[in-house]
Amino acid sequence: MANWTQTSKELLGPVMSVETWLPTEMPEYAQGFMYMLGSLTASSFVACVGSGIVLAMNGAASWSYNDAMRFVAATHFWSVQAFFFFMMLHLWRVFFTGAWRGGRGMTWVLGAIAFLVAVPTAFTGFLINGDLYSQWNAVQAKDGINALGLGWVNLSNAGQMFGMHVVVMPLILTVIIGAHITLVRLKSVVPPYPTGRDAAEPTPVGKGGR
């Protein structure tokens, strides 16, 4: 086989390049609020991680009996709400612009996986809050988890859920979001659909629309 280092160098070159990550120009159509939604989602994720680190440092349940920690817990809670809120708006914007066209299918799939993984990430967080909501969701949701043959994930084991929520799920999500954004940077954002005269041209069957 070829030289692995050489191959890695070629593959990683564009991924690690400053040109990729610090562009000084953007396509003219990629302007305005609609194009901020992905960054707003990513920023909310950063806020989740930041507030989560403060919570983890102070120990489980500190947020239930310490006023300062309660405020941090509030920022964590609302960061999560912001994260999903912006993610949904972002999802609509990329859907309505058909942003998987032009070889961007994998970008879309990684976004969808990020959404899928974000759900249990948030859920395990609800489970370790320690209030009625945690308690109720742990006993209710266990039936679904057990039915799917995932019984080793014990929702009523707060220690396991703490590890899942604080280490395992955020790490996985970080990797997926990282890959998603890397692809966006490498491929740039999708150009608009043609309108007017161009759009009237017949689109090749089986190829168009992508």
Partner 1 sequence: MAVGRTDMVHDYRMVPEDFVKHLLGTLVIVVALVLLVSALFSVPEAPPLTIRGYARTQPVAFEQMALRALDGQGRIADYGPPYNHGTGSLQSPMQAAVGILHPINAATDFILKPLTMAAVINPALIKPLATFRHASAAQQAKWETAYSTALAKGVYRHGRVVVAGTGYGPLPSLMNATLALGRSGLMSGALTRNGAVVTRFNNQNYLLFLQGDPLHDKAAPLQLLGEQWGIIHPAVPGYPGAWWMTIPTWIYQWPFVAQSPAADAMALSLGFGVWLILALTPWIPGWNRVPRYLGLYRLIWKNYYQDQASEEGSSQTAGNKVGPMVGSQ
Interacting residue ranges for ligand HEM, rule: CB under 6 A? 35, 37-39, 41-42, 45, 87, 90-91, 94, 97, 99-100, 104, 107-108, 111-112, 114-115, 118, 177, 180-181, 184, 189-190
Q: At its nearest, how many Å lie between ligand HEM and the CB of residue 45?
A: 6
Write the CA distances from 182 to 41, 56, 147, 152, integer angstroms. Answer: 15, 28, 36, 33
Element (H, E) at 153: none
174 forms part of the interface with partner 1 (CB under 8 A): no
Distance from the first to the final alpha carbon of the chain: 35
- The SS3 of residue 93 is helix
Contact criterion met (CB below 8 Å) for 50 and 57 = no
Count the site residues for partner 1 by CB under 8 A: 109
* From the list ligand HEM, partner 1, none, partner contacted by residue 5 (C-beta under 5 to 8 A by kind): none
Interacting residues with partner 1 between 71 and 130 (CB under 8 A) = 71, 73-79, 81-82, 84, 87-88, 93, 95-98, 100-105, 108-109, 112-113, 115-116, 118-119, 122-123, 126, 129-130
- The SS3 of residue 81 is helix
